[in-house]
Amino acid sequence: MKKMNPGQGVREGIHQLPPEDIETLVWNPAHVPGDVYTDLWKAGVIDDPYFGRNSAKAQWVMYDEWWYAYQFNMSEDLTDKVVRIDFDGVDYACDVWLNGTFLGRHEGAFSPFSFDVTEALRSSKKSLAGRNMLIVKLDPPPQVNARVAGKKTPWFGDYWRDLIPFGIWQPVKMVTTGQCRILEVYANPKINDDGSASVTLEMELENTTNAPRSMQVVASLQGENFESEKVWSEFDVELQPGTQIIKKTLKVEDAKLWWPWDLGDPNLYQAKVSLNEGDANHDVTEETFGIREVTMAWNPGFGPDEVSFPRTTLINGKTHFIRSACWGGPPDIFVGRTSVDEYRKLIQMAKDANMNNIRIFGWHPPEIREFYELCNEAGLTVWQDVVPLGTGNLPKDEAFLDGIIEEAVAVIKERRNHPCLIMIEGGEEMFLRSGDAMFTRNFLEKLGSTLQEYVDLPYVPDSPLTCATAQEAGYKPKEAVHALAYFYGMGRWLMEDWYSSLDFPIVPELAITSVPSVESLKKFIPAQEMWPPGLSWGYHWADLDRLRMQNWDTFGDEMTGSLEEFVNATQDSQGTIFQLSVEHFRRGKPRVSGIALCHYITYWPDMKWGIVDNYQEPKRSYEFVKRSYQPLLVSLQFDKRRWFNEESFAGELWIVNDLYEQYEDCSIEVLVKSDTGKVLSKDLFDVDSIAENSSEKMLDFAGPKLKRVEKRFYVEVALRNRSGEMLSENEYMLLIGDQEAASAEYKRWGQEVGQKRREHGSANYLRYYPDMIREDGTDLKSDTETPRASGF
């Protein structure tokens, strides 16, 4: 890889470097798949952009073009062969040459592209005569998101700084075939009433010659992760010059269906297609798929004047209550730092946290092939914005809009064989910033109808659809909601007053923040800024005012006595708010059909949404989510978290069952403990029956008086079967205090913090460091080396 000023590389003739030359051996080493910043960091050109505020110092990188060179030898006999080079993804725009021959140009980070290199390729058993030079010029990344929306991941938002990623982020492959080849195979299943399945193979074939060719197609289906008989068919086809779609339907008797892990087994099949001419094989390909059908049903309790779309997901006819979190990925925004092993670990951790779904929302890119393969195997469903449209103001240019849709079609065609993909959306948060409501709606509906020509999956315009602009566009008042108001409006409500007011059919985002562990902080915060929090905390999006406030709401204390106390408290606060909110929504099923937390991970080390940090370390909040996402959940509902000593604690005991299994003769044990660990009461209640796929209040609970409790008390609940086996357990922390007084104090504090944001800007983290701001709020002082946050 080599840096050049824009336009300089072509003027210097880099694209015409002789294939036998050794000049490129002294260029900067580069790894593909990867990104520019990671290669420069590894070479010592820039400091680690994840550490401190180093990313601000690396902004020069994104104003230059970067040239990649790859030398390779070819000795294969290419008689009657066709060779192409496939690029799975380049971010964002590039020009490509092979041995000085210009192959073409591509724009768009997510769409794959390919070049026929049969004529430009050199092949010989003599090493120098078979030497080849592949050259890729990577343009400087675009600087205005609206001009590349849907074709590049947005590089702004409230958990990233203005350093625009770019690079060859997906694999590059050279593929050799005969003169006829298989471009794509889509396995489209239909489940029959008799337990069989009809799988239609849609095969896109190409004849690269100028004359028709008589070919034989051999297609087969067989279980991939289970034993099964092979189903196969052989038939003749007359391939005309160019590309054509051939369809063939194979019947699978006693079909093994693909299920989410909590509803059944994630059975996978393999489709294999060979393209032959007599005894000569031209091409062969294999695709993994699952036999499953996805349909949608209306949420009971919401009428057509309240919602526009059915939001209950059915997999093979069974309700799939979505227990999800927004992916917030890839694991690293600089993809060169990420490995497939990290994906494997994160997918397993999501399943271990009792998630049955991952939501890829519209501020993040469609994921790599291995992500979907791992979800297929784990039985985790995927709910996805097809392409990231993180802007509400697209240019009203038909060619531009068609380009977005073409990119989205390329994305869905690449991923439609994966059974984990069950729901598609488009236009994340577009209405929040849209200046033209109906233009935005019309575009999103055209996007959806086009995508559904290629895949039989539910589609809705993306959330939220409850904002003023979405309502102006004709959406209904009870559409999908982003439950973010507690965080962004911190101080308006205590947590239980907020979440208990929410009543929507589905919640695509439920958000609260926390700080990574002390050990993780040491990896990206300079030691001199560690405690009290220095400027790098703000740079990595620690909203220090809100973190203190949510600690106070959770514990009745800001918990700023030490670094470890504060960090742990933010994670426990995040976990508490997630747990109580999730349980509120789950108790509302079937009226409510799903929740996605915001987020599972985020793509750099930050102080923001994730319950797993950038180093794949779970926060303490992860355990709260794991409890609240138990498929069979015993849940305690209470109206307030603060109680007087003279009061008796009271609540309701519920059981939520997402499984298709009925339980008989169970019991619920309830322990109430003081902050010293003393048991204040112990009660045991019989539960005769728990219905499958249900949510039901079992009984009202009246606990002990709290007169001996000082600050906090704890309630533990356990659900057991007749043999005493634990089916579900849960726990809650509550406070001694005056609920009304706490609410008034919280609102006062919220007004104070809100005024600070209005004065200095909601994204200006310097507001936490008053020594850096003059009284007029405009200029920085320079009389301090390590400013510290106020309030610590």
Look up the CATH number of the domain holding residue 651. 2.60.40.10
pLDDT of residue 777: 52
By mean pLDDT, which of 420-429, 450-459, 496-505, 763-772 is the weakest?
Answer: 763-772
List Cα–Cα distances, 29 to 69, 73, 312, 763, in angstroms: 10, 19, 50, 37
Q: pLDDT by residue (tens digit) across 17-38?
A: 999 999 999 999 999 999 999 9
DSSP-H helix ranges across 185-267: none
Write the secondary structure of 475-530 as one string of H (helix), E (strand) and C (coil): CCCCCCCEECHHHHCCCCCCHHHHHCCCCCCCEEEEECCCCCCHHHHCCCCCHHHC
Boundary-marking domain end, from 610, 629, 648: 629
Compute the average pLDDT of residues 374-388. Answer: 97
Spatial distance between the Cα atoms of 458 and 15, rounded to a whole number of angstroms: 46
Query: Within this chain, do residues 159 and 20 fall inside the same structural domain, yes or no?
Result: yes
Query: Within this chain, do residues 271 and 137 fall inside the same structural domain, yes or no?
Result: no
Query: Within this chain, do residues 260 and 407 fall inside the same structural domain, yes or no?
Result: no
Q: pLDDT by residue (tens digit) across 611-654?
A: 999 999 999 999 999 999 999 999 999 999 999 999 999 999 99
C-beta of residue 482 within 8 angstroms of C-beta of residue 508: yes
Compute the average pLDDT of residues 58-64. Answer: 97
Check whether the bond before 599 is cis (ω within 30° of 0). yes
Q: Is 657 helix (H, G, I), strand (E, B) or coil?
A: strand
Q: Which residues are within 8 A (CB) of 333 and not within 5 positions of it... i.e. 6 or more apart?
A: 153, 160, 165, 603, 604
By mean pLDDT, which of 269-278, 684-693, 750-759 is the weakest?
Answer: 750-759
Question: Does pLDDT of 791 surpass 90?
Answer: no
- Domain of residue 650: give its range: 635-739
Residues of the chain with pLDDT > 90, as a percent, come to 92
C-beta of residue 66 within 8 angstroms of C-beta of residue 1: yes
Confidence of residue 775 (pLDDT cuts 50, 70, 90): low
Q: What is the mean pLDDT of the chain?
A: 95
CB atoms within 10 A of CB 747: 14
Residue 550 belongs to a domain: yes
pTM exceeds cut of 0.95:
yes
CB under 8 Å, gap of 24 or more: what pairs does 527-532 form?
A: 528/786, 529/52, 529/786, 530/563, 531/562, 531/563, 531/792, 532/788, 532/789, 532/792
pLDDT of residue 180: 97
Domain count, the chain: 4
Confidence of residue 257 (pLDDT cuts 50, 70, 90): very high
Query: Within this chain, do residues 345 and 485 fall inside the same structural domain, yes or no?
Result: yes
Boundary-marking domain end, from 613, 629, 645: 629
Q: pLDDT by residue (tens digit) across 523-551?
A: 999 999 999 999 999 999 999 999 999 99
Confidence of residue 783 (pLDDT cuts 50, 70, 90): very low
Check whether the bond before 6 is cis (ω within 30° of 0). no
Compute the average pLDDT of residues 493-522. Answer: 97
Residue 754 belongs to a domain: no
Boundary-marking domain end, from 289, 321, 353: 289
Query: Within this chain, do residues 592 and 641 fall inside the same structural domain, yes or no?
Result: no
Compute the average pLDDT of residues 328-354. Answer: 97
Residues of the chain with pLDDT > 70, as a percent, come to 98
DSSP-H helix ranges across 276-390: 340-352, 369-378
Compute the average pLDDT of residues 685-690. Answer: 97
Residue 769 belongs to a domain: no
Residue 426 belongs to a domain: yes
Question: Does pLDDT of 401 surpass 50?
Answer: yes
Q: What angle do CA 203, 206, 211 make, to 5 degrees?
A: 135
Alpha-carbon radius of gyration of the chain: 29
CB atoms within 10 A of CB 128: 10
Spatial distance between the Cα atoms of 556 and 642, rounded to a whole number of angstroms: 9
Compute the average pLDDT of residues 231-255. Answer: 97
pLDDT of residue 241: 97
Query: Within this chain, do residues 700 and 557 fall inside the same structural domain, yes or no?
Result: no
Compute the average pLDDT of residues 658-665. Answer: 97
pLDDT of residue 381: 98
Residue 103 belongs to a domain: yes
Query: Within this chain, do residues 233 and 331 fall inside the same structural domain, yes or no?
Result: no
Query: Within this chain, do residues 474 and 395 fall inside the same structural domain, yes or no?
Result: yes
C-beta of residue 702 within 8 angstroms of C-beta of residue 611: no
Spatial distance between the Cα atoms of 481 and 484, rounded to a whole number of angstroms: 9
pLDDT of residue 161: 86
Q: pLDDT by residue (tens digit) across 703-721?
A: 999 988 999 999 999 999 9
CB-side exposure of 162: number of CA atoms within 13 Å?
Answer: 8
Query: Within this chain, do residues 370 and 388 fall inside the same structural domain, yes or no?
Result: yes
CATH of the domain at 432: 3.20.20.80
Residue 278 amino acid letter = G
Query: Within this chain, do residues 487 and 540 fall inside the same structural domain, yes or no?
Result: yes
Helix (H) or strand (E) holding 403: helix 398-415
CB atoms within 10 A of CB 120: 18
Query: Within this chain, do residues 237 and 132 fall inside the same structural domain, yes or no?
Result: no
Among 780, 782, 786, 667, which residue's Cα sits nearest to residue 729? 667
Compute the average pLDDT of residues 158-167. Answer: 91
Q: What is the strand order of the sheet 180-191 is part of?
A: 180-191, 197-207, 242-252
E-only strand ranges, 6-78: 65-73
Question: Does pLDDT of 138 surpass 90?
Answer: yes
CATH of the domain at 74: 2.60.120.260
Query: Within this chain, do residues 22 and 106 fall inside the same structural domain, yes or no?
Result: yes
Question: Does pLDDT of 781 surpass 70?
Answer: no
Compute the average pLDDT of residues 115-123. Answer: 97
pLDDT of residue 392: 80
